[in-house]
Amino acid sequence: MKAVHFGAGNIGRGFIGAILQQSGYEVTFVDVNAELIDRLNQDRSYQVVLADETKESFTVDGVSGINSQENPDKAVSAIAEADIVTASVGPHVLPFIAPVIAKGLMKRAEGSAVNVIACENMIGGSDQLKAEVAKHLTEDVAKKVFEFSGFPNSAVDRIVPIQQHENPLTIEVERYFEWVIETAGLKGEQPSLKGALFVEDLVPFIERKLLTVNTGHASIAYNGLLKGYQTVKEAMDDSEVVALLEGVLTETSLFLTDKFDLDQKDHQTYVQKIIERYRNPYISDGLDRVGRAPLRKLSAGDRLTYPAVELDQKGNEPAALEKTIAAALKFDVPEDPEAVQLQAWIVQDGPEAALEKASGIKAGSSMSERIITYYHQSN
C-alpha cells in the first residue's frame, strides 16, 4: 500500500508518517524543504524518539521524498498511484498543495477510491482542502473526481516542538497521540490506521481538542511572552500564567460541556491530562512556536475568538479568553509574517481596528472594549 504525505515537518515525520508506516504503508513525503527531502531519499528511514523517561525510539523505514517545487510531476504521479493522501503543512499552505493534488486525482484513470485527509489544527480542514482542490477542476471533472476521492475531516493531537538533532530527520515526540477521522467523508474501504479512531461526527472531537489543547496552549504562549518567558516550561512555572490557563480552560469547558452535553467529570479528567502534557519535563517547546500565526489564531473560527464570542452571546463574560486575546495582540515576533502584519495594523489603525480585522470582533462592542482595556493594562 502506498501513502503520500504532504509536509515532512514535525507532525508529518513525528506522527502521521510514523502511523502510516506502522500501518503497512510505504510513505512518500512531499515537501518544499530540499534538505529534508534529500535526506529522506538518502537515508530512506528516520528515528522517532519518545519524550519521556524511557527515551524509547523506533525507526520509520521504507520512506522516500519528493520535492514538489523541483518535481511537481513526480508528486502528481505519486498521488495517482496512492492508496491514501494525507497532509500536515499548516492551514495557510493548503491552497498551495491543492493544484498538485487536483492533477494527481485527475490522473487516477481507473477512478479507484482514495481518501485525502488534512491533519491540521482547524475545524473542517479536509473540507477546506477539497474546496481548494475544486478550484483547479472544471465542474464536470470535479463531479467525477469527488465520486472516488473522499476528504474526511480529522483531528490530530500530539505535541511536537521545533527541535535540532544531528540528523535533521530525527524527531522527538510525546508518547500521547490522538488521530480522529470522520467516517462521513470516506470513500471506499475504511483505511486501516493503527491507533486512529473513526467516528461518525468529528465536530465534538475537533472542537474539544482545539478549544482545550490549543486554546490552553495559546494562553500559555501569549500570556507567557508578555511576562518575558521563552518556553512553555518557564511560563508554566509562573502562577499568574497558570491561573489564566485555568481560567481559559474553565471558560472553554463551560462552552464545550454545554454544547456537546459532555460528562463534567470526564471532561475535567481530559483537561487535567492536557495540563500534565504541557508540564512534560522532557519537552522544551518555544512560546514563539506555540503562538505562531496570530492572525490565524485570532480568526473568528479558531481557538480564542470562537469560544469567547459564543460565551459572550450566551451572556457570559469570558474574561480569561479576553485577556488572552489582548495578549495575542501583543505578539510581536519579527520572524513571524502574521505577527508583523498584526503589529503593522496596530500601528496604522490602532488596536481596536486591528482586533476587528483579525477576529471580526466589532470595534465599539462591549467585548472589544473589554479586550482593548486589557490590552492597555498589560505591559
Ligand X SMILES: O=P(O)(O)OC[C@@H](O)[C@@H](O)[C@H](O)[C@H](O)CO
What residue numbers does the annotated binding site for NAD(+) cover?
3-14
The residue written with cell numbers 501513502 in the block is 3
Report strand pairing: 45-50 vs 57-61.
antiparallel
Report strand pairing: 154-157 vs 45-50.
unpaired
Tell me: does residue 96 bind ligand NAD (CB under 6 A). Answer: yes
The residue written with cell numbers 486525482 in the block is 105
Site for ligand NAD in 141-200 (CB under 6 A): 156, 158-160
**Residues that constitute the known binding site:** 3-14
Tell me: does residue 97 bind ligand X (CB under 6 A). Answer: no
Given ligand X, ligand NAD, none, residue 7, with its beta carbon under 5 to 8 Å by kind, binds ligand NAD
Identify whether the C-beta of residue 84 lies closer than 8 Å to the C-beta of residue 78: no
Q: How far apart are CA 262 and CA 109, in angstroms?
A: 45
Among 31, 83, 132, 157, binds ligand X (CB under 6 A): 157
Tell me: does residue 352 bind ligand NAD (CB under 6 A). Answer: no
Residue 113-152 contact track with ligand X, rule CB under 6 A, x = bound = --------x-------------------------------
Tell me: does residue 31 bind ligand NAD (CB under 6 A). Answer: yes
Among 3, 4, 5, 12, binds ligand NAD (CB under 6 A): 12
Among 21, 28, 121, 305, binds ligand NAD (CB under 6 A): 121
Tell me: does residue 99 bind ligand NAD (CB under 6 A). Answer: no
Size of the site for ligand X (CB under 6 A): 10
Q: Where are the alpha helices (DSSP H) in the chain?
A: 10-11, 17-22, 34-43, 72-81, 94-106, 125-134, 139-148, 203-209, 215-226, 232-236, 239-260, 264-278, 287-290, 294-298, 305-313, 319-328, 337-349, 351-359, 366-377
Closest separation between CB of residue 312 and ligand NAD, Å?
26
Query: Long-range contacts for 272-279 (Cβ within 8 Å, ≥24 apart)?
Result: 274/212, 274/213, 274/216, 274/249, 275/216, 275/245, 275/249, 277/159, 277/174, 277/176, 277/213, 278/216, 278/217, 278/220, 278/232, 278/236, 278/245, 279/233, 279/236
Q: How far apart are CA 273 and CA 294, in angstroms?
A: 26
Determine the interface stretch with ligand NAD among 30-38, 260-268, 297-305, 338-346 (rule: CB under 6 A).
30-38
Given ligand NAD, ligand X, none, residue 293, with its beta carbon under 5 to 8 Å by kind, binds ligand X
Residue 268-297 contact track with ligand X, rule CB under 6 A, x = bound = ----------------------x-xx----
Residue 205-224 contact track with ligand X, rule CB under 6 A, x = bound = --------xx--x-------
Q: Which is nearer to ligand X, 285 or 352 (CB)?
A: 285
Given ligand X, ligand NAD, none, residue 95, with its beta carbon under 5 to 8 Å by kind, binds none
Picking from 164, 163, 193, the residue whose alpha carbon sits closest to that of residue 180 is: 193
CA dihedral 272, 275, 276, 281 (to 10 degrees): -170
Picking from 282, 262, 285, the residue whose alpha carbon sits closest to that of residue 214 is: 285
Site for ligand NAD in 42-71 (CB under 6 A): 68
Residues that bind ligand NAD (CB under 6 A): 6-12, 30-33, 68, 88-91, 93, 96-97, 120-121, 156, 158-160
